[in-house]
Structure 1
Amino acid sequence: MNMKHQKQLLAVLLMGTACTLQAQRSETLLEKNWKFSKGDFKEASQPEFNDTKWESVVIPHDWAIFGPFDMNNDLQNVAVTQNFEKKASLKTGRTGGLPYVGTGWYRTSFDAPADKEVTLLFDGAMSEARVYVNGKEACFWPFGYNSFHCNVTPLMNKDGKNNTLAVRLENRPQSSRWYPGAGLYRNVHLIVTDKVHVPVWGTQITTPHVSKDFAAIRLQTKIDNAGEKTQIRVETEILSPDGKVVTSKENTSRINHGQPFEQNFIVNAPELWSPESPSLYKAVSKIYADDRLVDTYTTRFGIRSIEYIADKGFYLNGKHRKFQGVCNHHDLGPLGAAINVAALRHQLTLLKDMGCDAIRTSHNMPTPELVALCDEMGFMMMIEPFDEWDIAKCENGYHRYFNEWAERDMVNMLHNYRNNPCVIMWSIGNEVPTQCSPVGYKVAKFLQDICHREDPTRPVTCGMDQVTCVLANGFAAMIDIPGLNYRTQRYKESYDQLPQNLILGSETASTVSSRGVYKFPVEDKKSTKYEDHQCSSYDVEACSWSNIPDEDFALADDNHWTIGQFVWTGFDYLGEPSPYDTDAWPNHSSMFGIIDLASLPKDRYYLYRSVWNKDAETLHILPHWTWPGREGEVTPVFVYTNYPTAELFINGKSYGKQSKNDSSLKNRYRLMWMDAVYEPGEVKVIAYNKDGKAVAEKVVRTAGKPHHIELVSNRNELTADGKDLAYVTVKVVDKDGNLCPTDNRQINFSAKGTGKYRAAANGDPTNLEQFHLPKMHTFNGMLTAIIQAGETAGEIVFTAKANGVKAGNIRIQTK
């Protein structure tokens, strides 16, 4: 399928393969009873090695997140070429200031039937994983972000009992540009099957035709170890989102010449997958070999069509739309890189409320749980594997393995996620230095061709930041969908020169701000630094190479050939503390996030929400109104709202109405009273609809003396599975419940009952307090504490105490 010359790319929908626990197949998470030690041990792969003094851990596990923070952890003296730096400088906190560098070992044991096929599947292991079973190496996989699997049947003990599994992991210094995490930070699966079976990621579902009336479903199933004379029969039922059988097929074959087993179905009046209605089907296949049931395999998928039409844009199920997306790194703030479904769901819930409908996995292959949640919750995905190809960004980065491993890594990624309906394009790289090589297009074509071969239903993009290079050398012209990182001033030029007649904002904005921090005077600034190492939440500051959100809003609104954006970033993350990245310790986390490291929305969240969330009312005032010493000084007030007009009152005095207009870029999307003067008391805003009717009101008051701690949990009931989480917002407030926005006192935590305190964060990019300790200072009056359920039903009583204010208590049920 020649995708380059097609102006219309029709794709369809897909999956998350989940295997049912039938007698022929079982899949178990290897979570508990692991031993861990950092350091290298010559004999640790051997069954007789004594690990009794090692730490007992539960997988997923990130050994580095517990700290402590230190400027000397992975201190890098480098020039960041993608930021146009010509000379090396000391980059402090670039990878988060956490001790991720080094070697670590994990050991456990498992049982499996001796007469079965046994496979170990690792969703990700950071990094350079060497897997040993009973003292013999089972497989090696260097890339820490990719899922990989190995058949360990020949290495099993004869009786199948007490098999020793050991995993050696090593993180090298200067191997990353951000915090990568360390250890077995994603899940490990033990898969047991019959000899004849469907292998890992063994199905591929496509939908050659999608309409309101019917959809055509094509299912290809790979079957391992079926001899040439074996008669294979596959019985498949297609289940609707409500679990009813909507169609079925039974097909038999004795000869398939090594090709996957193919079945075709018609689903009448299909429920189409979209962010607004994420309907999911299942294909349940029973595999018979010579009339013996040998496997049952379930493939979850969705039905939807995608089209990228030159000069028109992106169409989902025949409807035009633009991506309202964000980029995210993989760490979960104070939880580190260790995957947790409840934490991912919490992130996506916040993004959904903001109006976000798409995620770019930057710049790494995601965990399967994230992709499954995007299927379920309705987020389109751009899945991206690499931050560098054959030319280095980091001394010990992926370029060391690219030539040997890139295709294998790409195939694993594509097979893992090509059935997921949420995936609407692949990205092959981010700001790779190879883009400016005269033959860089050849490397890009190599990767794009792998995508086309393994999945002909989706287009390919690449995040390109060196616009002059890629326009001149043919690199951008060859990519299915040209993706520009920033460079808003060159969108039109790129559109005019490129044959695709479409431009994607593959990475946008990189506005910087610190939650609750406001700088005066309020001015648009680039790469500005302050003595307190913070950035202003008036949302007018960016890095030298980036821009404020308004520019990207306007590009999307004004040009039919732009297909939307992916903002850098949805959440703050560990590492890359621009603009405080050069000799600027203690900064060690980003400031790009719309939501901070504590999962607390910044003001910018409401700016995006006012534009993106068409179904909700947004009316947000900034800054706070507690400014001792600023009495009588100009203190501009901004309002982010979905309404066209609002009126500002300070202590009852009107500062007049402001309406969104085209007089300036910011005036299109913000209401601003630049002449507002601070006086203690009350700020009130009344919003008006397009007919001039008052429809909403918001008030912010000057805070009094700190009085008590207020606790608000995102959930009051947890599943008693030992994994579920509640995010508790901790606020210091006055007697009337007004946030005290300048309060930074230490809060001490305790949790009793059927759960435990897990971690806390306050969103301050300079804060060096360890996340797992039961104490932390508030940042501008707030922080977040995370509570984890135990494995028994009951009640968790969480308490937050601090000197000088009344304690807060909250009760959370576990069931």
Structure 2
Amino acid sequence: MLVRHVLFAVLGGLVVMPAHADAGRERLSLDRGWLFHLGDVPFHVPATQDETYYATKAGMASGAAAVKFDDTAWRKLDLPHDWQVEQPFDPKANMAQGFRPRGIGWYRRYIALPESDRGRHVELEFGAIATHATVWVNGNLVNHNWSGYNEVRIDITPYLHYGDKHANVVAVRVDADAMEGWWYEGAGMYRHTWLVKTDAVHVVPDGVRVTPRKTDGGTWEIPATVTLDNDGKQDAHVEVEMVVTGPDGKQVARRRASVDVPVLTQVTAALPMTIRDPMLWSLDRTTLYRVTTTVRRDGKVVDRLALDTGFRTLRFDAAKGFFLNGKHVKLQGVCLHQDHAGVGVAVPTAIWAFRLRRLKELGVNAIRFSHNAIASEVLDMADRMGFLVMAENRNFNPSPDYMKQFEWMLKRDRHHPSIILWSVFNEEPVQATEAGYEMARRMVAVAKALDGTRPTTAAMSNGLLTPLNVSHAVDVVGANYQIPEYDKFHAARPDKPFTSSEDTSAFMTRGEFATDKARHIETSYDTEAPAWGNTHRDAWQAIGTRDFVAGGFVWTGFDYHGESWPYASWPSVSSFFGIMDLNGFPKTAYYMHQVQWIKDRPLIYIAPHWNWAGKEGQEIVVRVMSNAERVKLLLNGQEIGEQKVDHYRMNDFKVAYAAGALEAIAYTGGKEVARARVETTGPAVALELVPDRAALDGDGRDAMPITVRALDAQGRAVPLAQDEVRFTIAGAGQSIGNGNGDPNSHEDEKGRTRKLFNGLAQLLVQSNWNSSGSIEVDASAPGLRTAHLTIPVRAVAPVAYVPAAAPPVDDKP
């Protein structure tokens, strides 16, 4: 291999690259036009010598994997798709998976390729498939995948047919009876799917390595590499160019290399660059630089792709915690699973944006995506919005198949400035043993080889102080719960950085303020937690008062389907752990953490609601939550009391109930800085629909949640309303699901009706593909005034996609 370099130093000017009409790479959506069958389809069992002979040959798959298979009765649908959330609840199904059946399903799609694609490199890219998947192309088995969380990239070039009459047949068998987690995992092709076309000489998937690092001299280095492949029939000589541009579009670095790429060979070219004084990426200023890689052959662009990265330093200190760009940052984190009410794990990107905005408003600065790699578009949002990410591996196993999954995550995600930790596992039984240490040591070595700029960790639930355990293999020790071990570990190993990797696990039911075990209801006063966990207040006090603890990750930011502790039994079908419920509606824990984590503006909140008819004169505990210095509580204008704010425990007042208005006033420096009010409402008389955003793009992907609530005659939200609401949607969009945050609800998440739960429900709407105009939404309930909402839908160019083709006329062109 011959590689020659040319380095361009750019000083305050823009170096213009020549424009090319054809950059060689197309990434086309395959989300539209799939056929689906729920249930297995048996393979033909050969009965004769001839049948057996042909069944073993290339392209001769049988059953639903065959090219000539009658799928005309199959359901037509678009991706992403989670079939598990569509199933009825079943008390005989697995509690951990939300009491919903899983099963096996099949997908098929027809793709026609023009003759002009002959000689190009073509890949299928599945964002993720839950859980185990087998893929065939034109009757050829091309891939087995053993995880529901990693991307699946398949070179299908050798199997393709070209021309309108010879459509290619893609068949995918999904085995969701296989489970990788003890939480709701969903079932099916639940992330985006793509067809990627490139020149025969191209950059391999995740083949651009960009991991900026600061040198001792103060400059920044990007030891960039690019890996190329050549599917063609002739050796190739190419020029590879990498250009770094700042947020203002100006070029800050450029490097070229001449590379010889033999036929059917991968070659890696190094293109190191040095940059002086870049703008730093931080939580408040998420500056991103674009790295564009261009491959030219005989002066023509044959491949071009871009990714974003950022410049920042990070350090975990054993005594003082975490530092970003030299500034101390306490990790105010949450753990997240990847499902949402109404859609299961097939969460539209726009709904992910809503979820992350809710976390940002809460004061969260760190997220642990537990316990698996998240969709790449979510990490893009974390980069742009300013979150610190613990990226976690799903399967703790250094054997070749599972190490490939870990390597894929490292390669795909290492350019993201938001990622600060690689976690090799969560709560493994071997974590306290020599075997666990040896397994972790091997996986850590791979992380260092493929990245080397970030520390590693593991989320350990015990065994921190055994003679040899996983903590000896990782850079930062992660403790799940184990608060009594914090000080013991730090005393025994004072030079080892330490963070809570998972904490709390407190139980709350949104809007409820008395635990009722018979009805599976948990109080919102933050008094209920499992034996292994702690209340929100206890956990954060343990973390916040110890400098050596870098921070924490509350279990969990949102409720999720399945794992319905503390009951772990029917009728509870979702968790009680969340700071928010399954829709993103805040529980009382939201406001407790918000006043602990937000420092730049005064905040004050009151809990509970003030609708306690029948309890007149009885004592109600009123919790006031504030980040000010002092708080005063009044009932109907009469002072109840004044207290110094306890930022860890909050402030409770005992109040004899009388209908009217509670008012809390926050003071700092003797001056009022904030005020909150809760009133007794009248009965519900009307419904209201509150959209999350003003409009949607008509690309068939954009989506938003709509809050549904009941109002009294004065327009106040009624906190105890339980009315059943019926939805009607017309125009340029559709409903994709609904929910209400009740862990014991068995309503159809894809249905047309939903009961309010303690005053709230949520409807998710999505635009139709290539649409414009408006979506008209009506919500009605007996005895209440109907609510109407018009959502404008903007005409936009849809994502480039591959139209579904007709079945092939002849499977042997």
Normalised TM-score (structure 2): 0.88
- In structure 1, what is the Cα distance between the partners aligned to 2:439 and 2:634? 59
CA contact (8 A) 1:715 1:726 kept: yes
CA contact (8 A) 1:471 1:477 kept: no
Give how far 1:230 is off. 4.1
Q: Which moved more, 1:247-256 or 1:48-57?
A: 247-256
Q: Cα 1:193–1:99, aligned 2, differ >3 Å: closer, same or farther?
A: same
CA contact (8 A) 1:486 1:509 kept: yes
Say whether residues 1:537 and 2:537 are aligned partners: no
Say whether residues 1:425 and 2:429 are aligned partners: no
Match of 2:725 in 1: 747
**664, 685, 695: which is aligned to 1:717?**
695
Say whether residues 1:376 and 2:384 are aligned partners: yes
**90, 102, 118: which is aligned to 1:100?**
102
CA contact (8 A) 1:464 1:484 kept: yes
Q: Cα 1:610–1:295, aligned 2, differ >3 Å: closer, same or farther?
A: same
Say whether residues 1:53 and 2:73 are aligned partners: yes
* 1:616-655 deviation digits (Å, cap 9, x = unpaired): 4321100001012211111110011111211011122211
- In structure 1, what is the Cα distance between the partners aligned to 2:112 and 2:177? 30
Say whether residues 1:172 and 2:177 are aligned partners: yes
Give how far 1:174 is off. 5.8
Say whether residues 1:808 and 2:787 are aligned partners: yes
Q: Cα 1:55–1:211, aligned 2, differ >3 Å: closer, same or farther?
A: farther
**479, 487, 494: which is aligned to 2:474?**
479
Say whether residues 1:685 and 2:687 are aligned partners: no
Match of 1:399 in 2: none
Amino acid at match of 1:96: G
Match of 2:38 in 1: 38
Give how far 1:438 is off. 4.2
RMSD across aligned positions (CA): 2.2
- Aligned to 2:210, what secondary structure does the other structure show? strand
Say whether residues 1:193 and 2:172 are aligned partners: no
Say whether residues 1:781 and 2:759 are aligned partners: yes
Give how far 1:697 is off. 1.5
Match of 1:359 in 2: 367
- In structure 1, what is the Cα distance between the partners aligned to 2:682 and 2:159? 69
* 1:597-619 deviation digits (Å, cap 9, x = unpaired): 12211111111111112234321
Give how far 1:496 is off. 1.6
Counterparts of 1:207-356 in structure 2 under 5 Å?
207-209=212-214, 214-225=219-230, 230-254=236-260, 260-356=268-364
- Aligned to 1:632, what secondary structure does the other structure show? coil
Q: Cα 1:229–1:167, aligned 2, differ >3 Å: closer, same or farther?
A: closer
**622, 625, 638: which is aligned to 1:640?**
625
CA contact (8 A) 1:120 1:189 kept: yes
- In structure 2, what is the Cα distance between the partners aligned to 1:660 and 1:472? 44
Counterparts of 1:577-596 in structure 2 under 5 Å?
577-581=564-568, 584-596=569-581
* 1:562-594 deviation digits (Å, cap 9, x = unpaired): 10111111110000110010xx31101001011
- In structure 2, what is the Cα distance between the partners aligned to 1:266 and 1:439? 41
Give how far 1:266 is off. 3.1
Give how far 1:144 is off. 1.0
- In structure 2, what is the Cα distance between the partners aligned to 1:110 and 1:498? 62
Amino acid at match of 2:500: G
Q: Cα 1:269–1:697, aligned 2, differ >3 Å: closer, same or farther?
A: same
Counterparts of 1:597-612 in structure 2 under 5 Å?
597-612=582-597
Q: Cα 1:500–1:180, aligned 2, differ >3 Å: closer, same or farther?
A: farther
Q: Cα 1:199–1:175, aligned 2, differ >3 Å: closer, same or farther?
A: closer
Give how far 1:211 is off. 9.5
* 1:360-392 deviation digits (Å, cap 9, x = unpaired): 110111111211111121111111122x646xx
**42, 63, 69: which is aligned to 2:83?**
63
CA contact (8 A) 1:513 1:539 kept: yes
Unaligned runs of 5+ in 2: 1-19, 44-62, 795-813
- Aligned to 1:806, what secondary structure does the other structure show? strand
Say whether residues 1:760 and 2:743 are aligned partners: no
Amino acid at match of 1:704: G
Q: Which moved more, 1:610-619 or 1:636-645?
A: 610-619
CA contact (8 A) 2:507 2:526 kept: yes
Match of 2:797 in 1: none
* 1:539-558 deviation digits (Å, cap 9, x = unpaired): 22111111012233223332
* 1:453-510 deviation digits (Å, cap 9, x = unpaired): 2111111111111146x53433223221100001112111111223643211100111
Match of 1:88 in 2: none
- In structure 1, what is the Cα distance between the partners aligned to 2:77 and 2:712? 42
**499, 503, 509: which is aligned to 1:504?**
499
- In structure 2, what is the Cα distance between the partners aligned to 1:28 and 1:158? 17
Match of 1:441 in 2: 437
- In structure 1, what is the Cα distance between the partners aligned to 2:562 and 2:632? 41
CA contact (8 A) 2:230 2:266 kept: no
Match of 2:652 in 1: 672
CA contact (8 A) 1:716 1:811 kept: no
Say whether residues 1:495 and 2:515 are aligned partners: no
CA contact (8 A) 1:234 1:251 kept: yes
Give how far 1:404 is off. 4.5
- State, as a whole percentage, how many aligned pairs show the same letter: 32
- In structure 2, what is the Cα distance between the partners aligned to 1:502 and 1:307? 10
- Aligned to 1:504, what secondary structure does the other structure show? strand
- In structure 1, what is the Cα distance between the partners aligned to 2:725 and 2:699? 28
**149, 173, 180: which is aligned to 1:145?**
149
Give how far 1:452 is off. 1.4
- Aligned to 1:813, what secondary structure does the other structure show? strand
**132, 138, 144: which is aligned to 2:136?**
132
Amino acid at match of 1:67: Q
Say whether residues 1:795 and 2:774 are aligned partners: yes
CA contact (8 A) 1:465 1:486 kept: yes
Amino acid at match of 2:730: K
- In structure 2, what is the Cα distance between the partners aligned to 1:763 and 1:114? 52
- In structure 1, what is the Cα distance between the partners aligned to 2:578 and 2:320? 31
Q: Cα 1:299–1:210, aligned 2, differ >3 Å: closer, same or farther?
A: farther
CA contact (8 A) 2:131 2:179 kept: no
Give how far 1:439 is off. 2.1
Normalised TM-score (structure 1): 0.88
Match of 1:770 in 2: 748
Q: Cα 1:409–1:699, aligned 2, differ >3 Å: closer, same or farther?
A: same
Q: Which moved more, 1:645-654 or 1:254-263?
A: 254-263
**563, 569, 581: which is aligned to 1:576?**
563
CA contact (8 A) 1:36 1:107 kept: no
Query: How many corresponding residue pairs?
Result: 748
- In structure 2, what is the Cα distance between the partners aligned to 1:22 and 1:607? 54
Q: Cα 1:140–1:255, aligned 2, differ >3 Å: closer, same or farther?
A: closer
- Aligned to 1:223, what secondary structure does the other structure show? strand
CA contact (8 A) 1:40 1:105 kept: no
Give how far 1:235 is off. 2.1
CA contact (8 A) 2:540 2:648 kept: no
- Aligned to 2:371, what secondary structure does the other structure show? coil
Q: Cα 1:564–1:640, aligned 2, differ >3 Å: closer, same or farther?
A: same
